[in-house]
Amino acid sequence: MAEEKNMSSDVMIQIRGLKKSYGKLQVLRGIDLDVKRGEKVVILGPSGSGKSTLLRCINALEEADSGSILVDGIEVTSRRTNLNHLREHLGMVFQRFNLWPHLTVIENVMIGQVVVGHKSKAEAREKALAMLDRVGLKDRADEYPVRLSGGQQQRVGIARALAMDPKAILFDEPTSALDPELVGEVLAVMTQLAREGMTMVVVTHEIGFAREVADHVIFMDGGVIVEEGTPEEVVVNPREERTRAFLKHVL
Ligand code: ADP
Ligand code: MG
């Protein structure tokens, strides 16, 4: 059974003192972070700063060395927690879509609902169609992923996450693998989700998205949070030299 901890109910994700190393390499050196229900947090930072590792610890794809992570009161870092249950309610959207090539678009959106969510096929199909409609791809339901553009494949990835009725969605550089002309359609779907109140943690280099959509921006470097605040504070008027240097590089 999941272990429930006292946590203010408006906090969806609470991280305290999170550390993670690979051998001698300290990748996360003590991360503290709260994500409130409905909040949009954007994480910026150079390659290798630990952003993906942080997301992977949140949904238990990686095991933390120390510290605690609570998701909606469920302790990710406890042995007693049912991790399948956790992952079922925490959507993940990857840089490289990770769609099954041998399944059609709708089957890709159905499979998690059937295998993990134990829904009937009919129920899963209905939900999948509704989610594909939400990302503007209902008419492509019976195609195979290879027939879709990268932007469309990523929108299927988002529909797949949504189909599980997630409490929050973690995005790991969702537009970094896309040709520039396809980035906009994916950001548009993400912006729409944000407006609808989804709790989102987004690792991205899209500074415009951070400015427009984020409630809270975090700049990470070397496994620590160097600076955080509103988009105005972190993106427009950064205090730290490392943040300024990074922004100069990506803008
Ligand atoms: P980012 O997403 O910010 O680019 P990552 O979290 O992917 O950073 O990686 C942080 C560091 O950890 C990098 O130096 C990377 O090479 C290393 N790393 C990530 N995953 C592993 C792993 N499974 N084994 C060993 N080293 C890893
Ligand atoms: Mg990464």
pLDDT in tens, 158-201: 999 999 999 999 999 999 999 999 999 999 999 999 999 999 99
For 98, 160, 200, 202, the CA distances from 137, given in Å and listed in that order, are 17, 12, 22, 22
| pLDDT > 50? residue 1 | no
**Single-letter amino acid code for the residue at 39:** E
Q: How far is the CA of 86 from the centre of ligand 1 (A)?
A: 23
- Counting from 1 in the atom list of ligand 1, the atom nearest the Cα of 223 is 10
Residue 180 · residue 212 · CB < 8 Å: no
Q: Which residues line ligand 1 (CB under 6 A)?
A: 22, 25, 27, 45, 47-53
Least confident of 17-31, 77-91, 127-141: 77-91
Q: How far is the CA of 77 from the centre of ligand 2 (A)?
A: 21
What would the mean pLDDT of 152-160 be, rounded to a whole number? 97
Give me the pLDDT at residue 170, please.
Answer: 98
Give me the pLDDT at residue 6, please.
Answer: 54
- ipTM score of complex: 0.98
What would the mean pLDDT of 12-31 be, rounded to a whole number? 97
- Counting from 1 in the atom list of ligand 1, the atom nearest the Cα of 45 is 3
Confidence of residue 64 (pLDDT cuts 50, 70, 90): very high
Q: Which of 19, 22, 205 has most ligand 1 atoms within 8 Å of CB, for mutation?
A: 22
Confidence of residue 125 (pLDDT cuts 50, 70, 90): very high
Q: How far is the CA of 225 from the centre of ligand 2 (A)?
A: 15
**DSSP-assigned beta bridge partners for residue 93:** 171
Q: How far is the CA of 113 from the centre of ligand 2 (A)?
A: 27
Q: Give residue 95's Cα distance to chain centre.
A: 10
What would the mean pLDDT of 141-165 be, rounded to a whole number? 97
pLDDT in tens, 66-76: 999 999 988 98
The percentage of residues in the chain with a pLDDT greater than 70, rounded to a whole number, is: 97
Give me the pLDDT at residue 80, please.
Answer: 79
For 51, 53, 105, 153, 159, the CA distances from 86, given in Å and listed in that order, are 20, 17, 25, 25, 19
Give me the pLDDT at residue 86, please.
Answer: 83
Structural domains of the chain, ranges and CATH numbers in brackets:
1-73+207-250 (3.40.50.300)
Give me the pLDDT at residue 165, please.
Answer: 95
Q: Please tell me the distance from the alpha carbon of residue 246 to that of residue 226, in angstroms, as a whole number.
A: 12
- Counting from 1 in the atom list of ligand 1, the atom nearest the Cα of 62 is 23
